[in-house]
Chains A and B, each alone.
Chain A
Amino acid sequence: MMTEESEEIVFVVDDDSSVRESLGRLFRMVGLRAQGFASAAEFLKSGPSNVASCLVLDIRLHGMSGLDFQSELAKANIQIPIVFITGHGDIPMSVRAMKAGAVEFLTKPFRDQDMLDAVRLALDRDRKRRDEEKATSDLKRRFEDLSRREQEIMALVTAGLMNKQIAGELQLSEVTVKVHRGHVMQKMGARTLPDLVRMADILGIRRPK
């Protein structure tokens, strides 16, 4: 359990060293790894993490505000859940942050538990996203392993066509379609047709025109 937990990391970006250190101490207490940065630029320099992570971000940053940093990250396609903290939050600010996908918006001084709950939620969300990403990339790899013909047949099958129709469409015999279809089910690891349909959905496969 401990090892699994320590695979997660919380990044703290706050220009006040006291706040930064106290947060680090809090996360260490619940067994989370924490890393503090005095500015957004410093955080970017450290490079992307390959474990589940989240960002605790002070809205009031010098150089670049936390909200601007959030949109910068989105633009650079860096997907990391953000928990905002602020000394003087107001409603428009929090609305903007939440709309842009923030997990939570906490006003200093915040309760420990609120912070830990928010961080937990953020980490779970990141882990889930990473898992989904991982599953999708597995599927992608399997789909790419299919032959061209098999990929065509998978698209038509998942579009709801019967073997006979597929055979007509591709100028093949019904038997050949059946064989290919068996290969597709096997290679994609789909036990039933609905499984295959869901996979096609995830991969975004559409019937070719």
Chain B
Amino acid sequence: MFKDLRTSTKLVLLCGVFIALVGATTYSLVTEKLIAIEFARKELGGSRYLATVREVYAAVLARPPFAAAPPSPSASMDDLRKALATAQKNAGAALQTSEIAQALVETLGLWSRNPGSDINHASDVLARARQLASRIADDSNLALDPDLDSFHVQDLVARKLPAFLGQLGEVQTLLHGAATARSLSNEQKLRAQILEPLLRSTTDEMEATLAAAYRGNPDGSLKRAVDGAFAAMMSSAGAYLGGLGATSAGGDAAGRDAAAADHLYRDALNGAVGLWQVAQSELDRLLQRRIDGLLERMRLTLALIGALAALSIVIAVMTHRHIVGPLERLEKVASAVSETKDYSLRIDYTSRNEIGQLAAAFNDMLAELAAARARERLEQSELARNARLTTMGALTASIAHEVNQPLSAIVTNGGVGLGWLAKAQPNLDEVRAALKSIVDDGRRASEVIVSVRGMFRKDGRERLPIGVNDLMRQVLALVHSELESQRVLLQTELFEDIPEITADPVQLQQVFLNLIVNAVEAMNSLTDRGRLLLVKSQLHEGRDVLVSVADSGTGIEAGNMDRIFESFFTTKSQGMGMGLSICRSVIEAHSGRLWASARDPHGTVFYVQLPGPSSSRG
């Protein structure tokens, strides 16, 4: 089924399949990239959310009960709550943080109504903030980040730093509690003792996380950006922890050094927040860079695929234009040639490729065909001319013989007459007989001349109104001696009221002569029965003239009955096989018909049917 389609259709199908494949591939590629981009964008959104959380930390930890006094230009609690609400709104449904965020906002509200007094509320704020940061990291894919550097940085930002800040806050609340109430519960004392190593271990963990992040960042940009802030944080944290150790060692001196401790705390807090800020901006930068890279690659891939598709379409179009198109033209010309037999048609296509060579070869073949046809026609006309000349030669020999016979007799008889008259006693009876013979033979020769003149009177090409019977009689006069010597009994039934027809007399006579000579030749081997030649003319279908020449000869085999009219077919030992084929073409040129049929019981009948005068056709 497919193989019967037109080549252009096949090409279109092929292109369609190709484009569909490319489209499917492109779709899957783009979808994959878009998923990756969406993933990174969600991380980015999470990171922005975390920035707000960071501000909450910074603002909350800068206030009492964590610090000694609120900083002079401090963001109000309402502003923080609004910022949180906005961030939560921006994060939208992507992150399932609304409950925690809501709780944080409420806690912030509770705390702000009792500023600096309620330690429990402050601790709640920190706990919820930490919870929120962790949830943000989980839900915004930050915890699943595929790159090592950004994975560790988000770990730092979303877990380690909140943990550190939370522990820092806890230490401060414990210190604050100790400073105000001077009485810590045993549990609180124990907690205070644990917190210092906890803070140290947290800083160690941060260092390890950062080291891992640096390893995952081959270009070193992360280390360059973060290392300063980290060192600042570490030193401030170290100073703070050192101060803490001193405070716990000399418990009484705490009050004295309250201002210095607060200063150390602020430094540590600022260091941690600064590190957070720097790390987070680096995280944003890394994420943004990843998104940009993904977008860039997607665009490049799309451009490449588009270019390939365009190229393949161009190739298909070129294939069609340079292969299918010329082939179709070739096919069109070939079928036009076979339909119209016009061998002068040529294909108008020049190129040096194979199709061009094919077209050139095809044109050459057409030219060769045309030449061969021309040669064939020439040879045929040459052959017909030769056959005509042969016929003419035979006719001339026949005429010469027909004239020569009576002439010879005349000469001899004349000599006889003269001879007798020269004698002393001439035999006048003999002289009379000789003279009579001379007269008869002279007349006979004259008859031959008359029929020959009848044959060649006019130019052969001319069509004249002629009587078929007269024409036949002239031909019979020519073959008279032939018939006599072959002992052929001639019987004529010429219908006298036959209309005149328009024909070329010479050609028609040659046809009749040919048919009669053939008939005589068909009978010259007969010994057991009479040699009968029957020549008839009659009306056919009321207006046409039908001439028949019948013999009692050997007949023609049924299988050869049609082939005898073919060129070069002959049943005679000596013959070119042109006679009957020429006869048929002559008769057909007169709009007539020539055919043969077997005669009962022996022999063959040849029929010549010629159209009667057109005027009588009414």
Report A's interface with B, CB cutoff 8 A. 15-16, 18-19, 21-23, 25-26, 28-30, 38, 60, 62, 85, 87-88, 108-113, 115
Contacts and interface: CB of A to CB of B under 8 A. Distances in A.
A22 B409 contact: yes
**Which of B405, B412, B416, B484 neighbours the largest number of chain A CB atoms within 10 Å of its CB?**
B412
Given A21-B409, A88-B397, 14 more contacts: A16-B405, A18-B405, A18-B409, A19-B408, A22-B416, A22-B441, A23-B412, A25-B412, A25-B416, A29-B430, A85-B408, A87-B404, A110-B408, A110-B412
What DSSP secondary structure best describes chain B's contact surface? helix
B326 interface: no
Interface residues of B, number: 30
Top 6 closest pairs, chain A to chain B, by CB: A112-B415, A108-B408, A22-B412, A18-B409, A109-B411, A109-B408
A112 B486 contact: no
B408 A87 contact: yes
B434 interface: yes
A18 B434 CA distance: 10
Contacts of A25: 412-413, 416, 430, 433-434, 437
Interface in B398-432: 400-401, 404-413, 415-416, 419-420, 427, 430
Contacts of A15: 481, 484-485
B444 interface: yes
A30 B415 CA distance: 11
A88 B393 CA distance: 13
Contact of A109 (B412, B420, B486, B524): B412
Contacts of B441: 18, 22
Contacts of B486: 62
Contacts of B400: 87-88
A110 B405 CA distance: 11
B440 interface: yes
Contacts of B407: 108-109
A5 to B, nearest CB: 15
A98 B412 CA distance: 23
A88 B405 CA distance: 11
13 contacts: A16-B481, A18-B444, A22-B409, A25-B434, A26-B415, A29-B427, A85-B408, A87-B405, A87-B408, A88-B401, A110-B411, A111-B415, A112-B412
Contacts of B437: 18, 21-22, 25
A181 B405 CA distance: 64
A25 B415 CA distance: 10
Nearest to B401: A87
Given A26-B412, A109-B404, A18 B440 contact: yes
A33 to B, nearest CB: 15
Contacts of A109: 404, 407-408, 410-412
Contact of B430 (A28, A62, A110): A28
Contacts of A88: 397, 400-401, 404
Contacts of B430: 25, 28-29
A108 B408 CA distance: 5
Contact of B420 (A16, A21, A29, A87): A29
A62 to B, nearest CB: 4
A87 B408 CA distance: 9
Interface of B: 397, 400-401, 404-413, 415-416, 419-420, 427, 430, 433-434, 437, 440-441, 444, 481, 484-486, 524
B413 A22 contact: yes
A50 to B, nearest CB: 28
A112 B419 contact: yes
B441 to A, nearest CB: 5
Contacts of B401: 60, 87-88
A112 B400 CA distance: 21
A140 to B, nearest CB: 43
Contact of A108 (B397, B404, B434): B404
B405 A108 contact: yes
A16 B448 CA distance: 15
B531 to A, nearest CB: 11
Nearest to A27: B416
Nearest to A61: B485
A16 B481 CA distance: 8
Contact of A112 (B416, B440, B444, B524): B416
A135 to B, nearest CB: 35
Contacts of A22: 408-410, 412-413, 416, 434, 437, 441
A16 B397 contact: no
Contact of B409 (A19, A111, A112, A113): A19
Contacts of B411: 109-112
B528 to A, nearest CB: 15
Nearest to B411: A109
Given A22-B416, A88-B397, A109-B412, A62 B404 contact: no
A139 B316 CA distance: 116
A113 B397 CA distance: 27
A18 B415 CA distance: 14
The winner among B409, B413, B433, B485 for most chain A CB atoms within 10 A is B409
A23 B437 CA distance: 12
Contacts of B410: 22, 109
A185 to B, nearest CB: 52
A6 to B, nearest CB: 15
A158 B36 CA distance: 147
Contacts of B406: 18
A19 B412 contact: yes
B449 to A, nearest CB: 16
B235 to A, nearest CB: 144
Contacts of A111: 411, 415
B164 to A, nearest CB: 141
Nearest to B423: A29
A120 to B, nearest CB: 14
Nearest to A112: B415
B429 to A, nearest CB: 11
A19 B405 contact: yes
A84 to B, nearest CB: 13
A108 to B, nearest CB: 4
Contacts of B427: 29
A113 B416 CA distance: 10
A92 to B, nearest CB: 16
A62 B481 CA distance: 11
B416 A29 contact: yes
A108 B485 CA distance: 18
A25 B434 CA distance: 8
A60 B482 CA distance: 11
A152 B481 CA distance: 63
Nearest to A115: B412
Nearest to A113: B415
Nearest to B487: A62
A109, A110, A115, most chain B CB atoms within 10 A: A109
